C-alpha cells in the first residue's frame, strides 16, 4: 500500500484544511451562541474572539485557495459514481466560497453597524461601509443565512467523509487524516 | 429626564452684565457632544442628543466668559440600540437616580492664539472631579464656536461597575469631544445696538 501522502494531499493542503476546520468549528458555534446572549462583558468578549477567528479564516482561506488551484487534489477512487464526484466537487467549491463569504459578510455587517473590527485587539481593519443601521440589519441576516448554509454544508462534508471511511472503506478520509489507518477493505 | 448636565461656568467677571457683543445663547442644534469608548480594543462612538446651557462669552475677553451646559443623560446614544437599556441602568449611568451630570468651569486661561485651557468641576453620577480641557474658540459674525476634547476615566465616576469594571473589556479611558456653538439674543427694543465685531 503506498503512503497516504504519495496518493494524497500535500502536507500544506492538509495543514491548511485542519487549521481552517478548527477555526470554523470554534467560530460557528460561538456565533450561534453569542448572538443569543444579552449584553454582558462575556458577549463583547465573544464577539471580539469571533471576529478574530473570522479574520484568521479569511487570511488562511486565500492561500488555501491559491494552493488548491496550483496543486490539484488527488482523484477520487474509481469506485465513486459520477453524480457523487460532481456533488463532491460542487460542495468543495461551495465550502471555499463560504470560507471567504462568511468573514466578508461579517466584516461588512460590522462596518455597517458601526463596530470596527480590530484584529486581535491590535490591528484595526478599515471599515468597508459607513454606519447604516438598516443595511447593518440586512447584512446580519445575510451573515446568519450563510452561517446556516455553512453548517449544512459541513454536515454533508463530514457525513460524506465518514461514509467513505466506514461504508465504502476507501482512502478518502484517511488521505486528509493521514495519522488514521485506512480501514481494511 | 434631565440629563448629563455640564455647567461650563467660566467665572472671571461672572457678575458683569452681558454686554451687547456677548454671546449669550447656546445653540444645541449647532452643538455636539460625542464620546469614544473602547470595547475589546474597538473604538465605538456615542453621544448625547439633548443638552442645554447658559453662556456669557465676550470674544474680547474670553477669560471672563461664563457658560453653563446641561446634557441629558437619558439622551445617550452608545452606538447600538441594544446597548441603551444597559447603559442607562444602575451599573452604568443610573439615569433614574442621576438624570443629569454637571460641569462647572472654574477658570479659563489663554494658551496661544484661539486656544484656551478651561478648568472645572465635572459631576457625573453624584461624583465630582476636576477636569482640564483645552478649548479652541472662534467667534465669527453671529456665532462663537468652542471645540475641544478631553479624556476621563469612567471608573472615577462609577460608570460601568460590577461585571463591567473589567477595563480589559471596556477601557477606563473615554474620550469626550465637543463642539458648542453660541449665538446672541436679539437686542431688546430700544436697547443698545450690538456692535458687530
Using a CB-CB cut-off of 8 Å, the residues of chain A touching B164 are 41
Task: Encode A108-169 in three state secondary structure.
Answer: HHHHHHCCCEEECCCEEECCCCCCCHHHHHHHHHHHHHHHHHHHHHHHHHHHHHHHHHHHHC
Phi, psi angles (nearest 5°) of residue A121:
75, 5
Please give the mean pLDDT across all residues of chain B.
84
Question: Is B166's CB within 8 Å of A116's CB?
Answer: no
Instruction: State the complex-level ipTM.
Output: 0.81
Domain ranges of chain A: 4-168
Closest chain B residue by Cα to residue A136:
B80
Closest chain B residue by Cα to residue A46:
B40
Question: Which has more pLDDT, B8 or B114?
Answer: B114
Using a CB-CB cut-off of 8 Å, the residues of chain B touching A118 are 40-42
Question: Is A113's CB within 8 Å of B82's CB?
Answer: no
Using a CB-CB cut-off of 8 Å, the residues of chain B touching A121 are 40-42
User: To probe the interface with B, which of A30, A44, A53 has the most B CB atoms within 10 Å?
Assistant: A44
Pick from B30, B1, B121, B13: which is nearest to B64 by CA? B13
Closest chain A residue by Cα to residue B83:
A39
How many angstroms separate the Cα of A48 from the Cα of each of A44, A138, B36, B38, B190?
Answer: 6, 21, 18, 12, 64
Answer whether residue B43 shows pLDDT above 80.
Answer: yes
What is the architecture of the domain spanning B23-183?
Beta Barrel (2.40)
3-state secondary structure of A71: coil
Using a CB-CB cut-off of 8 Å, the residues of chain B touching A117 are 42
Q: Are B155 and B172 in contact (CB under 8 A)?
A: yes
Rg (CA), chain B: 18
Map grid coordinates 447658559 to a residue: B54
Using a CB-CB cut-off of 8 Å, the residues of chain A touching B166 are 41
Distance between CA atoms of residues A109 and A117, nearest Å: 10
Distance between CA atoms of residues A35 and B76, nearest Å: 23
Q: Are A151 and A158 in contact (CB under 8 A)?
A: no
How many angstroms separate the Cα of B85 from the Cα of each of A34, A84, A134, B76?
Answer: 18, 52, 20, 10
Q: Give B61's pLDDT tier (boundaries 50, 70, 90).
A: confident
Question: Is B41's CB within 8 Å of A121's CB?
Answer: yes
In this prediction, residue B97 carries a pLDDT of 95
Closest chain A residue by Cα to residue B45:
A114
Which tens digit of pLDDT belongs to each residue from A48-96?
A: 999 999 999 999 999 999 999 999 999 999 999 999 999 999 999 999 9
Q: Give A3's pLDDT tier (boundaries 50, 70, 90).
A: very low
Q: Are B3 and B73 in contact (CB under 8 A)?
A: yes
User: To probe the interface with B, which of A34, A39, A53, A113 has the most B CB atoms within 10 Å?
Assistant: A39
Which grid cell is A92?
Answer: 468543495
Pick from B65, B4, B47: which is nearest to B177 by CA? B47
Q: Of A41, A114, A133, which has the smallest distance from its Cβ to B166's Cβ?
A: A41
Using a CB-CB cut-off of 8 Å, the residues of chain B touching A133 are 81
Which tens digit of pLDDT belongs to each residue from A100-123?
A: 999 999 999 999 999 999 999 999
Greatest alpha-carbon pair distance for chain A in Å reads 59
Distance from CA of B125 to the nearest CA of A (A): 21
Distance between CA atoms of residues B132 and A93, nearest Å: 59
Distance between CA atoms of residues A44 and B163, nearest Å: 12
Using a CB-CB cut-off of 8 Å, the residues of chain A touching B86 are 39
Distance between CA atoms of residues B77 and B93, nearest Å: 12
Which tens digit of pLDDT belongs to each residue from B121-155?
A: 999 999 999 999 999 999 888 899 999 999 999 99
CATH of A4-168, one of 3.30.960, 1.20.1440, 1.10.357, 1.20.950: 1.20.950
Question: What value does the mean pLDDT take over residues B73-97?
Answer: 92
* Cβ of residue B45 closer than 8 Å to a chain A Cβ: yes
Answer whether residue B12 shows pLDDT above 80.
Answer: no
In this prediction, residue B7 carries a pLDDT of 37
Domain ranges of chain B: 23-183
Please give the mean pLDDT across all residues of chain A.
93
In this prediction, residue B139 carries a pLDDT of 87
- What are all long-range contacts of B86-93, with beta carbons under 8 Å and residues at least 24 apart? B86/A39, B91/B160, B91/B161, B91/B162, B91/B163, B91/B164, B92/B159, B92/B160, B92/B164, B93/B4, B93/B125, B93/B159
* Cβ of residue B64 closer than 8 Å to a chain A Cβ: no
* Cβ of residue A162 closer than 8 Å to a chain B Cβ: no
Which grid cell is A95?
Answer: 465550502
Q: Of A41, A117, A122, which has the smallest distance from its Cβ to B163's Cβ?
A: A41
Using a CB-CB cut-off of 8 Å, the residues of chain B touching A125 are none
Question: Which has more pLDDT, B77 or B4?
Answer: B77
Amino acid at each position: 500500500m503506498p503512503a497516504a501522502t504519495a496518493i494524497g494531499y500535500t502536507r500544506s493542503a492538509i495543514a491548511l484544511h485542519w487549521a481552517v476546520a478548527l477555526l470554523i468549528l470554534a467560530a460557528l458555534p460561538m456565533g450561534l451562541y453569542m448572538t443569543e446572549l444579552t449584553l454582558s462583558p462575556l458577549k463583547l468578549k465573544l464577539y471580539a474572539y469571533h471576529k478574530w477567528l473570522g479574520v484568521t479564516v479569511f487570511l488562511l482561506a486565500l492561500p488555501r485557495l491559491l494552493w488548491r488551484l496550483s496543486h490539484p487534489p488527488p482523484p477520487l477512487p474509481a469506485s465513486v459514481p459520477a453524480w457523487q464526484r460532481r456533488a463532491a466537487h460542487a460542495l468543495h467549491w461551495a465550502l471555499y466560497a463560504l470560507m471567504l463569504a462568511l468573514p466578508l459578510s461579517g466584516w461588512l455587517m460590522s462596518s455597517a453597524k458601526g463596530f470596527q473590527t480590530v484584529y486581535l485587539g491590535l490591528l484595526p481593519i478599515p471599515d468597508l461601509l459607513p454606519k447604516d443601521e438598516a443595511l447593518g440589519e440586512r447584512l446580519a441576516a445575510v451573515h446568519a443565512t450563510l452561517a446556516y448554509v455553512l453548517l449544512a454544508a459541513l454536515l454533508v462534508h463530514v457525513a460524506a467523509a465518514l461514509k467513505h471511511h466506514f461504508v465504502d472503506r476507501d482512502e478518502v478520509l484517511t488521505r486528509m487524516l493521514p495519522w488514521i489507518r485506512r480501514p481494511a477493505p | 429626564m434631565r440629563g448629563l448636565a455640564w455647567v461650563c461656568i467660566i467665572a472671571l467677571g461672572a457678575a458683569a452684565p452681558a454686554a451687547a457683543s456677548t454671546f449669550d445663547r447656546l445653540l444645541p442644534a449647532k452643538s455636539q457632544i460625542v464620546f469614544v469608548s473602547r470595547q475589546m480594543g474597538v473604538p465605538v462612538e456615542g453621544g448625547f442628543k439633548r443638552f442645554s446651557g447658559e453662556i456669557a462669552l465676550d470674544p474680547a475677553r474670553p477669560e471672563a466668559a461664563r457658560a453653563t451646559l446641561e446634557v441629558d443623560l437619558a439622551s445617550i446614544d452608545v452606538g447600538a440600540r441594544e446597548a441603551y437599556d444597559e447603559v442607562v441602568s444602575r451599573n452604568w449611568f443610573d439615569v433614574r437616580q442621576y438624570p443629569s451630570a454637571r460641569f462647572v468651569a472654574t477658570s479659563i486661561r489663554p494658551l496661544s492664539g484661539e486656544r484656551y485651557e478651561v478648568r472645572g468641576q465635572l459631576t457625573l453620577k453624584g461624583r465630582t472631579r476636576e477636569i482640564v480641557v483645552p478649548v479652541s474658540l472662534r467667534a465669527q459674525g453671529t456665532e462663537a464656536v468652542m471645540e475641544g476634547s478631553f479624556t476621563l476615566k469612567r471608573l472615577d465616576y462609577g460608570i460601568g461597575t460590577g461585571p463591567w469594571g473589567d477595563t480589559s473589556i471596556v477601557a477606563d479611558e473615554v474620550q469626550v469631544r465637543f463642539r458648542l456653538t453660541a449665538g446672541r439674543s436679539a437686542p431688546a427694543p430700544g436697547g443698545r445696538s450690538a456692535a458687530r465685531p
